[in-house]
Structure 1
Amino acid sequence: MASLLHPPAHLTPAEALSLSQRAPAVLKSLPSSVGASALASLASPIESPEVWLSYENLLISCLRTGDLESAQECIRRLVQRFGDENDRVMALQGLVKEAEANDDKALEAVLKSYDDILAKDATNVPIHKRRVALLRSTGKTAEAVTGLIALLDFSPTDAEAWAELADVYLEQGLYAQSIYALEEVLVLSPNAWNIHARLGEIEYMAASTSAGGSDAATQKYAAESLKRFCRSIELCDDYLRGFYGLKLVTSFVLKNSGKWSKQKNDANSEDFTLPDNATVERLAQLATGKLSEIVRRYTVKEAHWSGYDEAEIAAARELLFGETAAVVR
């Protein structure tokens, strides 16, 4: 039951399936109606926020595993409590309809229903986000970008929307636009170490892509990537993705720095310049040592070192093994 209160996106497929399989028993255990009087409603356990969060998370897990019957029961109870005009409930109803759709025509009907809702209330944020998600899933990328920009026009402090826009731009290889959107996320959440690392990843991609182009562009992206990864591990000193990215970008810099023309240090420039090779080498050693420690402690199942993603551990192990093999050769 504890997983009912966890963000459903963080559940593994196996956990989501397990939760969905328990859905009938869970639904029986949860209260399903509001008290007859206002006083009774206030005292009722159904008014606990955890109850409604449980319904929402269970609904999403059921949709992930195709249990439409249980999902429909969850949405029925949410509608009974909050009404079908509630913004969040409307979005969840739309999500259920998307799952029920059997063809493109049915999905187009759902999309039209979102458009109709937004025609009446253009500030319905949950519906805006469901509409964008549906547009992306059906390959209508340009319309998804337009929808996100429309959302951000009236809600410029929505970090989730900026992050989604960054992801859409990245899919199209528009690195500069994606970086700009993620920088807006950092304006809103300056201490989000995962966003610093994500920005570092995109800047590393941009540096790698522009490696055959101008030295200035490549160095700028590499320098910014290095800065972002350093900031991410400064904020979270056991962050695997941060150290993994730092290892990648330092290797990239050390491999290519001999080919690049020397950067000019301009005191009036806001651009971050690359440090000298000795500093980059020390950062590479730091990243190697920390990645080795994380992999070792995770592998032997030390207490408090089990929260990493298995795929990320495997990637770190492969990166370290590849470097060792190259040195041996």
Structure 2
Amino acid sequence: MANPLLEAPTNSSPATAIDLSQKASTFINSQSSWLSAIPYPLSLFINTESQEKWQTYENLFLACLRTGDDNTAYACLESLTNRFGKGNDRILGLQGLYKESTAKNDSELAEVLKEYEEILKNDPTIFSIRKRRAAVLRSMGRTSDAVTALTNLLDQSPTDAEAWSELADLYLMLGSYEQAIFCLEEVVLVMPNSWNMQARTGEVLYLSSEKLEGADQLRLLSESMRRYCRSLELCDDYLRGYYGLKLTTDRLLELLSTGKKSQQSSSDPVKGDLAPPSIDAVKKLNELATSKLTEIVRRSKSGEKGWDGYSEAEIIAARELLDRGTQKIER
């Protein structure tokens, strides 16, 4: 079983983040109390360095910020600063994050932004600060400025998957689906085995297809379905993947059942577009998605061991999607 202290709290559930923040004080005390009791010069021979130790400090810092325990978060930050120094790029980013989280109003947030810009004037190569600056611009509602900041960053670091993903979210907020899809495809190029990003790409393709009609809509829906299939190849029992597969195949069955030849034969080998899937293939995938979603909901609700990692919101959404399909059949 994975150690929750070594997993990023930003990806964990609220309950896990609260549990981590409650353990922070105990962990900090355990790291300092026994070492201080060892007399000099014997303390020089005690090496407490490990990647896991400092990863735990950072994760506890993030968990405490997330749960509002600013004092303990500051204690974690002090330990990290003492170890790596104030000038360390990552420490600068964490210090900025602390100031952002404790800012009480927009004027204080603007002061943090000014500090970021002063740091970048002296050294524009500190990417942790450039990312934090883009995040502050976004939180202040300056979306266009945030897009520009991330675009400039990616011009110098084109393989930064985190920046591409953030830029995709910004474009999605602006309703620029084509640009968002392009950014997500860049993420997948950098991280081809990331099942959640494959599914995220499928989501945006699905949203984009709702704005179109005819052959273009069918093409995007087909690609969305393939992205969800790929995410499930990479991660078994991925609820979000099966949810998206169920959603896209439901819609594809509606379109393919109309029998329009212009839609079913739409493909462009020059552009790399694939022909739409057959109705039989879509039906089989739809049945698979329905079956797996039903199993996940049933086994998760019963509290079966190994099936309790899904969030309640995901289970409710899956149940509603299944009920929606049942109502259509009854009608």
TM-score (ref. length: structure 2): 0.90
- SS for the counterpart of 1:210 is coil
Once the two structures are superposed, the pairs formed by residues 224-303 of structure 1 within 5 Å of their partners are 224-257=223-256, 258=258, 260=260, 261-262=262-263, 263-303=265-305
Structure 1 residues 116 and 314 mapped into 2: Cα distance closer, same or farther (>3 Å)?
Answer: same
1:229 Cα offset (Å) = 1.3
How far 1:38 sits from its partner (Å)? 11
**CA separation of 1:21/1:189 partners in 2, compared to 1, >3 Å: closer, same or farther?**
closer
Matches of 1:3 and 1:56 in 2, distance apart?
12
The separation in 2 between residues aligned to 1:196 and 1:42, in whole angstroms, is 48
2:93, 2:132 within 8 Å by CA — same for their partners in 1?
yes
Q: 2:58 aligns with which of 49, 56, 59?
A: 56
SS at match of 1:224: helix
Provide the C-alpha distance between the structure 2 equivalents of 1:93 and 1:298, rounded to a whole number of angstroms. Answer: 40
Distance 1:66 1:180, change over 3 A: same
Q: Aligned residue for 1:311? A: 313
In 1, Cα distance between equivalents of 2:99 and 2:269: 57
> 1:237, CA displacement in angstroms?
3.0
Equivalent position of 2:220 in the other structure:
221
1:328 and 1:149, CA in 2 relative to 1: closer, same or farther beyond 3 A? Answer: same
CA contact (8 A) 1:123 1:154 kept: no
In structure 2, the partner of 1:171 is 173
Q: Which moved more, 1:302-311 or 1:318-327?
A: 302-311
Note the alpha carbon deviations across 1:16-62, whole angstroms, 9 max, x for none.
Answer: 233334433332112388999999667421x1222212221121122
Q: CA deviation at 1:134?
A: 1.1
Q: Output the CA distance in 1 between the equivalents of 2:218 and 2:40.
A: 67
Identity %: 48
Offset at 1:176?
Answer: 0.4
Match of 1:28 in 2: 29
Query: Aligned equivalents of 2:266 and 2:100: distance in 1?
Result: 54
Structure 1: 4+ residue segments shifted above 4 A: 32-42
Alpha carbons of structure 1 residues 70 and 278: separation in structure 2 relative to 1, 3 Å: same
Report deviation, 1:181.
0.4
Residue deviations 1:162-203 (CA, integer Å, cap 9, x gap)? 111111111111110000001111111112221111111110
Conserved in 2, the CA contact under 8 Å of 1:20 and 1:65?
A: yes
Distance 2:23 2:42 in 1: 32
Give 5+ residue unaligned stretches, structure 2.
none
Kindly indicate whether residue 47 of structure 2 is the aligned counterpart of residue 44 of structure 1: yes
1:139-158, aligned counterparts within 5 Å?
A: 139-158=141-160
The AA in structure 1 aligned to 2:231 is S
- Greater alpha carbon shift after TM alignment, 200-209 vs 188-197: 188-197
- Does the CA-based 8 Å contact 1:128-1:147 persist in structure 2? yes
Return closer, same or farther for 1:276/1:15 CA change in 2, 3 Å cut-off.
closer
Partner of 1:8: 9
- Looking at structure 2, the residues matched to 167 and 103 of structure 1 have their Cα atoms a distance apart, in angstroms, of 24
Contact kept? 1:56, 1:74, Cα under 8 Å: yes
Distance 2:103 2:24 in 1: 22
Determine the C-alpha separation between the residues in 2 that align with 1:41 and 1:270: 63
Task: Give the AA of the match of 1:197.
Answer: A
Q: CA deviation at 1:273?
A: 2.2
Equivalent residues of 1:30, 1:51 under 8 A apart: no
Give how far 1:79 is off: 1.5
The residue identity in structure 2 corresponding to 1:10 is N
Q: Structure 1 unaligned runs (5+)?
A: none
* 1:246 to 1:150, Cα distance in 2 relative to 1, 3 A: same
Residue in 2 aligned with 1:323?
A: 325
Alignment of 1:25-104 (within 5 A): 25-31=26-32, 43-45=46-48, 47-104=49-106
Q: How many residues align?
A: 325
Q: Is the deviation greater in 283-292 or in 9-18?
A: 9-18
- CA-based RMSD of the aligned residues comes to 2.5
